[in-house]
Amino acid sequence: MDGSSRKPLAKVEGRRRLRMSGVTVAWRGTPNLDDWVAYIVNGTRSKKLILADHSSERKVKSLLSRLQTLPRKQIEKLAKS
């Protein structure tokens, strides 16, 4: 075995609808790697509002729990900045 036959790491994907704001946030990444992205799903492909990218799974998950209580406007402001 020379390492080139390693199986690619499983990607994890998910989405959650935030009850307070009605925003749907989707995320995907690889466990143990810092390649996680979280974005707002608005139906429009071009205007994908990215909340986090190149971050760790822990960062994305804590971001999600922080977003639970925020209104839509604040979440979109977060995404733009």
Identify the helix (H) or strand (E) that includes residue 35: none
22-80 tens-digit pLDDT: 999 999 999 999 999 999 987 555 667 889 999 999 999 999 999 999 998 998 888 87
Q: How far apart are CA 34 and CA 39, in angstroms?
A: 16
| Residue 17: φ, ψ to 5° | -95, 120
Q: What is the pLDDT of residue 9?
A: 77
Name the pTM for this structure: 0.79
